[in-house]
Chains A and B, each alone.
Chain A
Amino acid sequence: MAERRLSDKVRVRVLRQDAFDRKDTRRWEEFEVARGERATVLSALRAIQRAPRTVDGRAVAPVAWETPCLEHACGVCTMLVNGVVGQACTSLLDVVAPKGRVSLAPLGKFPLVRDLWVDRQRMTDDLKRVRAFVGYDGSTDALGESPAAQAERLLLASCTSCGACLEACPQYHHDGAYVGAAAINQARLVGLHEGGALDRGARLDALMGDGGIASCGKAQNCVEVCPQGIPLTESLGSVARDTSKRFLFGWLLGARR
């Protein structure tokens, strides 16, 4: 790969819109940036911010996007890079724009704030809806969890709420009821904890309700795009089994709630 000569400049096409209610301002704008060593989509956006001028010489407003951490930890710079869900901070221009062109668009499954910035509020609301919290009881005793149980939770716990799984999911729509893989995985994670297990009944009821696990269409796109490599389909399967058991035998276990 190092043998092939890459272009010195990269043309960045950005799908812009001034605000969620200004569909009339939706437009593509094209910028040109230098291909720096190890430069990423994030580097390109920062270069545009410093000199916001399109290729046809018009001075425009800087492109808006969300960017807290700059190092692949927080998940908010998730966007569509060449139409595919990806993170600006780790998308190397050499990889996504080998021929000197790349297009950027906001995630489509979330309400737009401006340009590449979307509102993921719904994800927080859905975590509350499926009661994805352990309910800390004030105890200060050691938990004494087995290494196997700990390893299982560690694998599920790295979700950054970036929204990639929801963007890729055919069943998820921001005005629809389905909570999607992120919330269901988080509910499973919480249920594996000693404290979270106490609230298991209420959580499973929420997951059996409208927009819960039954809405999963088993397309398995989520697990493909998760930047953290979380086994989301396993989580969906596990929650589906648990809710089925509760549906069939829940009346026997009623006292446990």
Chain B
Amino acid sequence: MARTRARRVVVVGGGVAGLAAALELCRAGVPVDVLCATSLRRSHVEGSPAGLNAALGDGDSPRDHAADALRVGQYLASQARVLALALAAPELVHVVERLGVPLQGRADGSLLLRRLPGSTRPRTAFAGAATGLELVHALDAELARHELAPATDARGAKLPGEPLARRFEHWDLCELVLDGDGACVGCVAQDLRTMDVRAFRAEAVVLAESGPSLARTSSSGVPSAEHALAVALRAGAVAQNLELQAFHPTGLGGPDRQHVLSELAFAEGARLWVPLDRKERRAPEDVPEREREHLGSPGELGMAATARALVRAFAEGRGIFDPEREVLEPLAWLDLEVHKRDAAELELRLGASFETYRALGPRPRTRAGHETLPYRGALKVGVAPGRSLGGLWVDFAARADATADLDSPRNHATTLAGLYAAGPVACSPHGAGALPGDELVGDLFGGRLAARAAAAYRAGSERSASDQPSSTFEAPESAVRAAVEKLREREGDGEDSPYAIADELAQAMGASCGPLRDDAALDALLATQAALAARLEATPCPDRATRANQAVPFMRHLAGALDVARLAVAGARARAESRGVHYKPAAPTRDDAGWLRATLLRLGASGPELVGAFASPFAERVTDAVDTALFAPEPGPAAEPAVRVEAHDEAPRPAKKKKRAGKPADEEPSDG
């Protein structure tokens, strides 16, 4: 077991939320251990380039920011929590600058702000096209500083040999350690290089790992994936809205994963379209404007509406015709219309987000050379899964007047005492869709809030993990060690491989639990998942090595991913409406009367269980209600696909709507 006398808090995860939590704990003088399944500067938020939203522009206000965020989240978020983020955001952006992130500014010293889809004003501060990467690096450097500082005890005396912050890179969370009353007093983790297993004593544990990803060929990374979430679920924590997920209308495909083009392109006026002729053989730049059908530039509903327009178009048999293979593919053209603008200026603003595309992207059939893309010609894009919008249920302390109590130990507390969650492992604070630019600032805010709450819990708690007998830790430690050995030595029959099972799971999830959902298909998917779980149980371990064995953690993570995926499908099955990008043709509208509420799920002995109400450490009865006290929900988009009447009669749009079709409702009959 890791020795400590410093009453430490453990943070699991080294992305923006985890590092923000660790730094906040250090600031409060609370010694912290940061566990990360990879090395710290690699955490995957790096793929999140958009920027940081804050009401810093002229005429903008946190209230407007919150109103936009709630509209894009389709009101499925705690309004007090959303407003608290919007109020904190301007200060957080300055903290980010002070941490060393080179946010772009103007000559007068103010920050340059971009207007991303969903925002009614320019509101997004940014560092080139790689804000997430810069932010992780800056936070990581700051943690290094605290690793050089000594920890102190309650009386302020230095504890020799114990730094304020310690980092454990390549350590993978395996189990939570609970005391006799079910409170979390530490965790067991494994060093993925030496395969050593050991317990960490902790006054509180803050989970800040990734959300569901392994099960979805999503744009999130591979190691650790949703394992922290699975570990917490197995310990009895409740999850929320696991069926909800972001889907990007800008998937580029790719040999190894779905690469996704940043929503930054839309801030620069990109448009999506498909040819009206379903057998269009011309290069995209040769198709005249009148023979294109635009699929809704992202407007006030953010990216979700656009992604949904694509989903619908593809479902109705539109797309791009591939003349070589004579098939219509579920893809659309993304056009930056650069003939109207300065390519050099665009390169400066967008270049970094196209790097991967230029290295690995498809070679579209355009007259322009590939090197000049995307500034000449058009890009082929499809719908790709993004970040999960569900995760562990976490508490939030709102006062009677619906304002936030930021000092409460209740914020970001899970259903287990002493266990906190922030970042993607926690249920998204943004609702059924995140306002582009809110994710990074939301992770930063959530991490800090969770850390403050964990510090308050540690200070207010009568007992301490250091009072626990060592047997509390030794038992789970040996259990994990035994499980690891059993997995490593597992023999099996046949040629089945955990990697094949993972591929099949992701494929099945993509086919039946994407943005388009059908109850019968979801039922079939639940059966498929059960079969895959049974196969995984019988699969031999492909590697017998006792050190740096990557198959053992992979199999462990895959079992967890299956558990999480089953809850997600159970949630999707339950939610009988269409909200955000999620589209159930059998229930095609947003149903606020029935479904403006959370989906609460738990991992029961026999599989996923829907939970109506439950008790948490700080509340005797938590329900699935969503608060709407501060902002009255605006009505959702009208019913689909019965749209033509609405588009022509009610929508306050000029007659030339075909040129700038902004809504999925603007459907035109194909005259091809």
In the complex, what distance in Å separates the CA atom of A15 from the CA atom of B323?
Answer: 43
- Please name all residues of chain B whose beta carbon is closer than 8 Å to the beta carbon of A196 when the two chains form the complex: 100
B548 at the binding interface (Cβ < 8 Å): yes
Residues from chain B with a CB closer than 8 A to the CB of A69 are 42, 44, 46-47, 221
Across the A-B interface, give the 5 residue pairs with the lowest CB-CB distance, nearest first: A144-B109, A114-B548, A153-B102, A143-B97, A133-B141
Contact A154 B256 (CB under 8 A): no
B98 near A70 with CB under 8 A, answer no
Residues in A whose Cβ lies below 8 Å from that of B23: 136
Q: Which residues of B255-288 are within 8 A (CB) of A? A: 255-257, 259
CB of B137 closer than 8 Å to a CB of A: yes
Report the Cα distance A128→B623, complex, angstroms. 47
User: Is B339's CB within 8 Å of the partner chain A?
Assistant: no
Task: Flag whether A62 is at the interface (Cβ < 8 A).
Answer: yes
A39 within 8 A of B: yes
Question: How would residues 102 to 124 of chain A score, 1 for a CB under 8 Å from any chain B CB and 0 otherwise?
Answer: 00000000000111010111001
Q: Once the chains bind, are A134 and B42 in contact (CB under 8 Å)?
A: no
Residues of B within 8 A of A145 (CB): 97, 102, 105, 109
Check A71/B141 contact, CB under 8 A, given A76-B42, A114-B548, A146-B105: no
Contact B548 A19 (CB under 8 A): yes
Chain A residues with a Cβ under 8 A of chain B: 18-19, 36-40, 42-43, 46, 49-52, 61-62, 64, 66-76, 89-90, 92, 113-115, 117, 119-121, 124, 127-128, 132-147, 150-151, 153-154, 157-161, 186, 189-190, 193-196
* Closest CB in chain B relative to A164 CB, distance in Å: 14
Tell which of B39, B100, B111, B223 touches A142, judged by Cβ atoms closer than 8 Å.
Answer: B111
Q: How far is the CB of A95 from chain B (nearest CB, A)?
A: 10
Min C-beta distance of B168 to chain A, whole Å: 12
Contacting residues, chain A, for B255 (C-beta < 8 A): 36-40, 42-43
Contacts of B548 in A (CB 8 A): 19, 64, 113-115, 117
CA distance A45 to B548 in the complex (A): 16
What is the CA–CA distance of A92 and B147 in the complex, to the nearest angstrom? 39
Contacts of B147 in A (CB 8 A): 128
A141 adjacent to B94 (CB under 8 Å): yes
In the complex, per-residue mask of B34-70: 1 if CB is within 8 Å of any chain A CB, else 0: 0000111111101100000000000000000000000
CB contacts (< 8 Å) of A36 on chain B: these are 255
A134-B100, A136-B142, A158-B130 are contacts. A68–B545 as well, Cβ < 8 Å?
no
The CA-CA distance from A38 to B358 in the complex, in Å, is 12
Known contacts A40-B255, A75-B42, A150 near B102 by CB under 8 Å: yes
**Could you list some 5 contacts between A and B, CB below 8 A?**
A50-B497, A61-B543, A73-B44, A114-B545, A140-B98
**Assuming A72-B355, A157-B102, what are 4 further A-B pairs, CB within 8 angstroms?**
A64-B548, A137-B98, A141-B98, A161-B41
CA distance A151 to B107 in the complex (A): 12
Binding site of A, secondary structure by majority: helix, strand, loop or mixed?
A: loop
Q: Are A73 and B105 in contact (CB under 8 A)?
A: no
Contact between A193 and B100, CB atoms less than 8 A apart: yes
A90 to B359, CA, bound (A): 6
Q: From known contacts A50-B500, A64-B550, infer whether A128 and B47 are also in contact, taking CB-CB under 8 Å.
A: no
CB contacts (< 8 Å) of B130 on chain A: these are 73, 158
Across the interface, do A71 and B259 meet the contact criterion of CB distance under 8 Å? Answer: yes
Docked-complex contact B257 and A49, CB < 8 angstroms:
no
Point out the residues of chain A lying under 8 angstroms from B95, CB to CB.
Answer: 136, 139-140
Q: Is A136 touching B543 in the complex (CB atoms < 8 A)?
A: no
**Which residues of the other chain, A, contact B545 by a CB distance below 8 angstroms?**
18, 61, 114
In the complex the two chains form, is B499's CB within 8 Å of A140's CB? no
Complex Cα spacing A140 to B87, Å? 13
- Assembled-state Cα–Cα distance A69/B260 (Å): 13
Is the pair B254, A124 in contact by a Cβ cutoff of 8 Å? no
Q: Are A147 and B499 in contact (CB under 8 A)?
A: no
CB-CB under 8 A from B499, the residues of chain A are: 46, 49-50
Q: Give the Cβ gap from A90 to chain B, nearest Cβ, in Å.
A: 5
Minimal beta-carbon separation of B264 from chain A (angstroms):
15
Distance from B18 Cβ to chain A, minimum over Cβ atoms (Å)? 14
- Are A42 and B39 within 8 A (Cβ)? no
Cβ-neighbour of A61 out of B27, B97, B356, B542 (below 8 A): B542
Determine whether the beta carbon of A143 is less than 8 Å from that of B94: yes
* A117 neighbours in B (Cβ, 8 Å): 548
CB closest chain-B residue, reference A195: B98
Query: Which listed residue, B27, B46, B148, touches A128 by the CB 8 Å rule?
Result: B148
Q: Which residues of B contact A141 (CB under 8 A)?
A: 94, 98
Residue B644 is within 8 A (CB to CB) of chain A in the complex = no
A46 vs B110: C-alpha distance when bound (angstroms): 47
- Is A71 a contact partner of B47 (Cβ separation < 8 A)? yes
B127 in complex: contacting residue of A64, A146, A154, CB < 8 Å: A154
A147 touches B107 (CB 8 A): yes
Per-position 1/0 for B81-107, Cβ under 8 A of A: 000000000010011011111111111
B347-367 interface with A by 8 A CB criterion: 355-356, 359-360, 362
Chain B residues with CB under 8 Å of A147's CB are: 104-107
Alpha-carbon gap, A150 to B106, bound state (A): 10
Q: Are A42 and B256 in touch, CB under 8 angstroms?
A: yes
CB nearest to A150 among chain B residues: B102
Pick from A52, A68, A134, A186: contact of B38, CB under 8 Å: A68
A67 and B97 contact, Cβ closer than 8 Å, known pairs A114-B547, A120-B39: no
Residue of A73, A120, A132, A196 with most chain B CB atoms under a 10 A cut-off: A73
Which B-chain residue is minimally distant from A152 (CB atoms)?
B102
User: CB-defined interface of B155-168 with A at 8 Å, one 1/0 digit per residue?
Assistant: 00000000000010
Q: Does B133 contact A (CB under 8 A)?
A: yes
B144 within 8 A of A: yes
Contact of B27 with A138 in the complex, beta carbons under 8 Å:
yes
Contact A46 B256, beta carbon cutoff 8 Å: yes
* Bound Cα distance A141, B551 (Å): 48
CB distance from A25 to the nearest CB of B (A): 10
By a CB distance below 8 angstroms, the chain B residues around A40 are: 255-256, 360
Closest A residue to B130 by beta carbon equals: A158
With A133-B141, A142-B97 known as contacts, the answer to whether A73 contacts B222 (CB < 8 A) is no
CB of B633 closer than 8 Å to a CB of A:
no
In the complex, which residues of chain B have a beta carbon less than 8 angstroms from the beta carbon of A143? 94, 97-98, 103, 105
Q: Is the CB of A62 within 8 A of B551?
A: yes
Q: Is B145 interfacial (CB 8 A cutoff)?
A: yes
Q: Kindly state whether residue B169 has any CB partner on chain A within 8 Å.
A: yes
Residues of chain B from 99 to 143 with CB closer than 8 A to chain A in the complex: 99-107, 109-111, 127-128, 130, 133-134, 137-138, 141-142
Q: How far is the CA of A117 from the CA of B543 in the complex (A)?
A: 16
Could you say which of B42, B107, B111, B542 contacts A146, with CB atoms under 8 Å apart? B107
CA–CA, A120 and B101, complex, Å: 23
Contact check, B109 vs A66: say whether CB atoms are below 8 A apart: no
| Complex partner residue of A132 from B46, B102, B141, CB under 8 angstroms | B141
